[in-house]
Structure 1
Amino acid sequence: MIKIALIDDHELVLQGLYERLKREEKFEIVGAFTEVSELLLCLKYKEVDVLVADLMLKDSHGFDLVIEINQMAIETPKVILLSGFYETMLHKRALDIGVKAFLPKESSYEELISTIFNVYKGNQVIPETLIEDNKRYLLTETELQVLRLISEEFSNERIAKELFISRRTVDSHVSNICSKLNVSSRVGAVREAFKLNLL
């Protein structure tokens, strides 16, 4: 049996989730909560394999809740966050703090149930769009160094001297950086890099 806890500060949403998931014979719903304090109490005393949580809670943000759970002296559950906002950097942050899956609220119950089984087995559920974006944002260590120097207004010639590489190599790095960040200029690259916390 997969032991599941649910938290959502909207009673109707919570009730719907509870009613649907408890019909699955391999699921046991340990608790369904609208209050963070009640959920934390439950996690302290009951075994929970998977937590399905809303990202925007009344008294807490889902990310803060995950961080708080990670700091508790308990066997932490695998967390699935549900959100009405579904943008890449939000999802990336969720994965960085240990969330196993981040589903848009438009997902079907079938998708949620499949995700619960997946994360229970230890998998992370990562959407195609995020994998594509990560490929795009994957700058090499040298490209990051070049980007840092661009942000300090170094010319390509000065960057070449600073990093002991040829001017042509620097030009090539700058071109790759712009391509990966989907921008057309050095200024655009720096602006995008700050947005993505690369600098």
Structure 2
Amino acid sequence: MKIIKVLIADDHHMVRQGIKQILELENDIEVVSQASNGEEAVKLAREYKPDVILMDINMPGMNGLQAIEELKKDEDDHRIVVLTIHQDREYLFKTIQLGAEGYVLKDAESSVLVEAIRTVSNGNTYVQPNMTSELVKEFSRMSTHAKGKEEENILTSREIEVIELIAEGLINKEIAKKLYISEKTVKNHVSNIFKKLNVSDRTQAAIYAFKHNIKS
């Protein structure tokens, strides 16, 4: 069994200890270090190379957002789950833009945090289920962006249309009606999108669309 090494970054000692106790009830999770601010988080992440970093946003000195930005400059693949009180979609969207792989609220059930850690450690992304609607709202608010060459080469124009509608929260039946194609064709497009982008669900596909500004 693989042990998932976790670094906790939060400026409140009692919060860190509480999270540590919760996580260490799991046989496959080990807390290897703790940081009280962004600077410590960056330093300890580079030293311990944890599988997952739990990152608070509001910390003294270097905050969580700055720490994420700094860590994402490294060659090491730092996998980061933001653990925060902020339910604002601006924070959610900003952390995704910076490269965080997960977003969980501090009042979530412990099972949600554990699931996020396991999902992110496996190379996938995780957004707390009740926050995914905020992704859709932010996507709808965004102005049209030119799609990058990388996405242009990976996805067909039809697949880009489909992923855009996925990000807006439409189900396959609605996408089929919108694009005047069969539901079976939509399912095929969705399957191809998942394979090409190496994602396993619609939320992960939507996050990819946000990160890479995929718009038709």
Q: How do 1:82-97 and structure 2 match up within 5 A?
A: 82-97=83-98
The residue number in structure 1 matching 2:114 is 113
Q: CA deviation at 1:86?
A: 1.1
Q: Secondary structure at the match of 2:6?
A: strand
Identity of aligned residues (%): 19
CA contact (8 A) 2:6 2:52 kept: yes
Q: CA deviation at 1:134?
A: 4.1
The residue number in structure 2 matching 1:8 is 10
1:108-143 per-position Cα deviation (integer Å, ceiling 9, x unaligned): 11110011111112222233213421452355469x
CA distance in 1, matches of 2:106, 2:45: 24
The residue number in structure 2 matching 1:136 is 140
Letter of the structure 2 residue corresponding to residue 85 of structure 1 = H
CA distance in 2, matches of 1:140, 1:58: 36
CA contact (8 A) 2:51 2:78 kept: yes
Tell me if 1:69 matches 2:42. no
1:18-77 per-position Cα deviation (integer Å, ceiling 9, x unaligned): 1111121101211122244433332222221100011101222211010111224x5132
Q: Secondary structure at the match of 1:19?
A: helix
Instruction: Give the alignment partner of residue 54 of structure 1, picking from 36, 56, 61.
Output: 56
Instruction: Give the alignment partner of residue 27 of structure 1, picking from 20, 29, 48.
Output: 29
Query: TM-score normalized by structure 1?
Result: 0.64
The residue number in structure 1 matching 2:40 is 38
The residue number in structure 2 matching 1:81 is 82
Identify which of structures 1 and 2 has the higher relative contact order when contacts are C-alpha pairs closer than 8 Å and 6+ apart: 2
CA contact (8 A) 2:42 2:71 kept: yes
Per the alignment, do residues 47 and 130 of structure 1 end up closer, same or farther by CA in structure 2, a change over 3 Å counting? same
Could you list the runs of 5+ residues in structure 2 that have no partner in the other structure?
147-167, 169-216
CA contact (8 A) 2:84 2:104 kept: yes
CA contact (8 A) 1:18 1:32 kept: no
> Considering only CA atoms, is the larger Rg found in Structure 1 or Structure 2?
1
Per the alignment, do residues 141 and 17 of structure 1 end up closer, same or farther by CA in structure 2, a change over 3 Å counting? closer
Q: Between Structure 1 and Structure 2, how many residues are aligned? A: 142
Per the alignment, do residues 3 and 85 of structure 1 end up closer, same or farther by CA in structure 2, a change over 3 Å counting? same
Instruction: Report runs of 4+ in structure 1 exceeding 6 Å deviation.
Output: none
Letter of the structure 1 residue corresponding to residue 65 of structure 2 = F
1:141-187 per-position Cα deviation (integer Å, ceiling 9, x unaligned): 69xxxxxxxxxxxxxxxxxxxxxxxxxxxxxxxxxxxxx9xxxxxxx
